[in-house]
Amino acid sequence: MGRHGVLVLVLLSLGLASGTRLCQWERVADDVRLVPKGYALDVDPFPGDGVFKGRVRVLMVACTEAINAVKLDIDPAVNILKQNVKIRPRQFDGKVPDHKDLVEPDQWTDTGNLTVTSVEVKENEKQCVLTLSGNLKKGEYYELFIQFEGVLGTDPSAGFYQTTYLDQNSGEKRWLVIMNLLDGKAPQVFPCFNRPEFKTYFLLSVAHKSEFHVLSSEPVSHSKLGSEGAWVRDYFMKIPSMSVGSLTIFESDFTQPNNYRQYSNPDGANDRARVGIWGRGDFVSALTQSQSLAPKVLSSLEAYLSYPYPLPELNLVALPGYISDKPIDGYGLQLFKESDLMNGDSFWLAYRLAKAMASQWLVHLSTPVNATSVGPALANFMALNVAMQLEQPVFNSYLSNLQSLLIEYSKPVPYSMVPLQKDNIVAFKTQLVFHMLEHCLGTETFKKSIHNFIKKREFKVYTDDDLWSAMTEQALADKRLLPGIQPKSVKQIVESWIVKDRLPLVTVTRHYNKSVTITQEPFLRSVDLLPPSNETDKPDLWWIPIVIVSEDKVKEYENISKIMSWLEPVPQQQISIKNKNFGMDHYLLFNPGSIGPFVVNYDNHNWFLLSQKVGTLPEKIRIQLLHDSMKLALSSKLSYITALNMTLFLRYEQAPAVWKTFYPLADQFRKLLDGTEAAKPFDLYLRGLITPVYDALGDEGSESSWKQEFRSQTKHLLWQAGFDPSIIEANDSYNLWMSVPDPDSGMLVSRSYLCSVFLWGSQKQWEFGLERVLNFPANRSQSERDFLFRTLAGCPQDPVRIRKILNITLLQNSSVFSESDKFKMINSIASSSIGYTTMFEFLKENWNALKESLSKNMWNLYVQLALGQFKSEAGLSKVTRLVEERKGQFGAAETDAIASIEKIKKEIKWGAMNLNAIKLWLNTTLDEKWTARRFTFNDSQSDSVSHSGPSKTNETHFGADDCSAGN
């Protein structure tokens, strides 16, 4: 069966020959009185004039008796031409009409004496009510005709809008028109039944000037010229069953790379979709990589889902001036910001394409009833799978996402500062849960369940439960879940993960030569920082897959690891596993390669055994052990010495992905020790580890984006540790920016240089950066401004510069700085001991002015950060004195001020317990001469040198004296 045979199946599945059955199909509410069965939509946009006109015919069926009014969803801004609203009975034999089958209303002869007697628009309800001269008969079909007109919006928040771009070759302004009906925007354009479960066919025509062309869900079947030839009306092929929100239109003069659309599978071109990439003429050469990758990505998605893309073509547009990270997503047509489609890193380009294309199945072919994290997470999951098939990345984002989740979910109150980030974080977590399910159920079972889910819900709506049910059915069929053994369903597993704002900590305790005991608890940053718990609260516990690999099998773990059992989400529940091979001389590994998104702790002896062998283990295991040990130590769940011992293998580490895991954890260690006597030796240790990595990366040049990012991260941690090998080139580059006639036209210096200049450079250079923030043009990227501002505030370790930016931002009440700017600034400054110390002194000196000028929330945050960061007896004395002097004057921040004293006492207690041991370990390690292997990070993603331990050639010796260079 060809691609268009799918349409026949759609119609049969909907039962178009039976009006009664149609009323029952996918009925989700008892109040359904009319069900739309098709739309014929004609739209005439007039870019420049800023208006549009249109006509819509709605084929509908009556589902109850005594219907004497039709209610349609409509935005009050759309004007219905009430005198032209008509209705008639319609004989319907189940065959979807074509454009030629449509009869103009002035030629209707079979009206059955049925008329529309009144049209009332209810603005508050965003509905129009058409009162009829008689009743509609249950099970009978009717055709409704409405003419309307409206105003084109000026930005993507509108369902139908116009915009322009400047042609760089001709200097002319060119018009673009975009219709985007997702997120409930369809009533902003035409009267309709705006419910996702009402999936219908569409007949579409669009009028446009002859120099433009129009893209939509289907190709153009034919066109008609207007009487004077200046206007053209395009008639599109019948669009299969879809929700009204899936319709998208794009009118432009855009072209394509090489002016062609490529089949997703050239070998089967007659029955495969064509994929087209579109952009403005002066930019289209930057889209050649997307044009090459996109058909492969679509084909890979089809293979993964075992379900062909259901339309004859898919068009992807690079839209100038569009800045959202979320594409405009229509059925068969998607619009991206230009940078998302331009030539660049092949892996991430393939990932972005696959993530967007996945919605063709997960949003349009099958449509979610409600927006949850599950659909985006599944799209992310499939996108990573597809991208990794096509391009092997140097850095896998799995551990990066897990680190971000653990940081947020270990806070006393997750999302407390930025509630809007919750949706993205929950989607990340759900994506990691999909990775766990794939391993636990098996790849083939997992893929079959996704296919079955799509097949069952094609041309219908779905809920999350539909997906979990499909997975459970396949898992039971393949005996990946066994009846009578917990868990009973995939939903049971998933709900223990998705609904909680924590992640697990699993503790594995070995009873050597006997057995292993496994327990779980929520992973928390520090128990004594949490608010008091409610005794009646249900504990946060999870279904944990138990996968254990012994030392002799660890290098084959990806092939042999399997679920041994499950740890149930039961309070105080633990599981004991007996095995005669759990001896004293061999380690064991739990959750190898981070199958599940949780942290694993062991007894001390197993950690010791692992630390002796970690450098010889596979890359994913090295990443896991480095991550878990450092994260546990940072949360006071593991000895700091054990975690530091786990870093020693980095002296010979060759894999960029391991270093990428280490850098943010090392930065957290620095912040933990900042302001203590252990800070300097830790910085020396970091410099000894990282300097060979920086040297291996070589000078900047024409290279892949992963290497540029890796060098930038390496350099960033080096300058934090007090050593900057690139200060001269950073200064030279920055001074060139300072010398240009119009420095505000763009940031003419690499981002990786900014912190170096603001930390080590002159006051004049810093002042120049401040001027750029103050004069930043509104038409440039605000993310660029945010980066410049945060770097300007957070990098300097000079109290004079910190005081100046605090004064300008907080006391001068400049309209340049928003509340969000101030929030970012004080958080950036407070990240270092010099920063929060300066904030404290600034508070003492400007108490009244700050309290008067800051909002309540900003005042509370400032007090919290300025008082609560100290770690010494001297700091405690200063804070205690201020709190006593200003007692009763803190306002809403009084509780935070008092709490800061207790927090500092805990920091001092922590230091007394741990700092001497950390200093001793660092100083002893720095006194030892060690040999770092000199190595090269190749620019090719597939050529990264694998870990092979110490080398006897190309050696460089490091010790405490060598590491101190660059002070």
What digits encode the pLDDT tens for the residues 771-825?
999 998 887 777 888 889 999 998 888 999 999 999 999 998 668 888 888 998 9
Type of residue numbered 772: R
CA dist 692 and 220 (Å) reads 59
Give the Cα separation of 826 and 442 in Å (integer): 48
Decide if 814 contacts 773 (C-beta within 8 A). Answer: no
Whole-number Å distance between alpha carbons of 524 and 673: 20
* Residue 530, pLDDT above cutoff 70: no
Q: Residue 177: its pLDDT value, please?
A: 98
pLDDT tens digits along 484-525: 667 999 999 999 999 888 899 999 999 887 888 999 999 987
pLDDT of residue 134: 92
- Is a pLDDT exceeding 60 seen at residue 320? yes
pLDDT at 15: 41
Winning range, highest mean pLDDT, from 117-131, 419-433, 538-552: 117-131
Better pLDDT: 371 or 958? 371
Mean pLDDT of 339-358: 92
Nearest to 543 by CA among 673, 626, 441: 441
Q: Average of pLDDT values for 247-263?
A: 85
Q: Is the pLDDT of residue 126 over 60?
A: yes
| Residue 720: pLDDT band with limits 50, 70, 90 | confident
Position 132 confidence tier, pLDDT thresholds 50, 70, 90 = very high
Say what the pLDDT of residue 560 is.
63
Q: Which of 31-45, 344-358, 699-713, 875-889 is the least confident region? A: 699-713
Single out the residue of 142, 136, 140, 134 nearest to residue 117, CA to CA.
134
- Give the relative orientation of helices 782-794 and 799-806 as an angle to the nearest 10 degrees: 130
Of the ranges 402-416, 493-507, 707-721, 748-762, the best mean pLDDT one = 493-507
Most confident of the following: 133-147, 506-520, 939-953: 133-147
pLDDT band per the 50, 70, 90 thresholds, residue 945: very low
The pLDDT tens digits of the residues spanning 415-465 come to 654 555 777 888 889 999 999 999 999 999 999 999 999 999 999 999 999
Cα–Cα distance, 199 to 286 (Å, whole number): 37
d(CA 792, CA 767): 9
Q: What is the pLDDT confidence band of residue 397, given thresholds at 50, 70 and 90?
A: low
What is the model's pLDDT at position 526? 65
pLDDT (tens digit per residue) in 654-674: 888 899 899 999 999 999 999
pLDDT greater at residue 908 or residue 967 = 908
The band of 414, judged by pLDDT with boundaries at 50, 70 and 90, is confident
Angle (CA) 281-282-285 rounded to 5° is 85
Angle (nearest 5°) at CA 714 between 709 and 719: 125
> In this prediction, what percent of the chain has a pLDDT beyond 70?
87
15: buried, middle or exposed (CB in 10 Å: 19+, 13-18, 0-12)?
middle
pLDDT at 603 over 70: yes
| Amino acid at position 69, single letter | A
Q: Is 37 helix (H, G, I), strand (E, B) or coil?
A: strand
Please state the separation of Cα 760 from the chain's center in Å. 35
Q: Helix 288-305 and helix 443-457: axis angle, to 10°?
A: 90
Half-sphere exposure of 668 (CA within 13 A, CB side): 17
Condensed to tens digits (0 to 9), the pLDDT of residues 61-105 reads 999 888 999 999 999 999 999 988 999 998 887 788 899 889 999
Contacts 24+ apart (CB under 8 A), 393-399: 393/347, 393/348, 393/706, 393/941, 394/656, 394/657, 394/706, 394/710, 394/941, 394/944, 395/656, 395/657, 395/660, 395/706, 396/657, 398/432, 398/435, 398/594, 399/594, 399/623, 399/624, 399/627, 399/657, 399/661
At 730, the pLDDT band (50, 70, 90 cuts) reads confident
Answer yes or no: are the C-beta atoms of 502 and 495 closer than 8 Å: no
**Residue 933 per-residue DSSP state:** E
Each residue's pLDDT tens digit, 171-227:
899 999 999 999 999 999 999 999 999 999 999 999 999 999 999 999 999 999 987
Q: Residue 399: what pLDDT? A: 66
**Please, is 204 exposed, middle or buried when counting C-beta atoms within 10 Å of its C-beta (0-12, 13-18, 19+)?**
buried
Given pLDDT bands bounded at 50, 70 and 90, which one contains residue 953?
very low
Judge whether 162 and 177 are in contact, CB under 8 Å: yes
Residue 677 above 80 pLDDT?
yes
Q: In angstroms, rounded to a whole number, what is the distance separating the alpha carbons of residues 211 and 214?
A: 10
pLDDT, the chain, mean: 86
Distances 266 to 261, 262, 619 between C-alpha atoms, Å:
11, 8, 37
* Confidence label for 724 from pLDDT (cuts 50, 70 and 90): confident
Q: Indicate if the pLDDT at residue 565 is higher than 60.
A: yes
270 has a pLDDT exceeding 70:
no
Q: With cut-offs at 50, 70 and 90, classify the pLDDT of residue 260.
A: low
Tokens encoding 767: 């002042």
Contact present, 331 and 364 (Cβ < 8 Å): yes
Q: What percent of the chain has pLDDT over 90?
A: 61
Contacts with 943 (C-beta within 8 Å, 6 or more apart), sequence order? none
More confident residue, 468 or 410: 468
The more confident residue out of 964 and 607 is 607
Long-range contact list for 273-276, CB < 8 A, 24+ apart? 273/3, 273/298, 273/308, 273/309, 273/311, 273/312, 273/313, 273/314, 274/312, 274/313, 274/314, 275/313, 275/314, 275/315, 275/316, 276/313, 276/314, 276/315, 276/316
Q: What is residue 345's predicted lDDT score, i.e. its pLDDT? A: 82
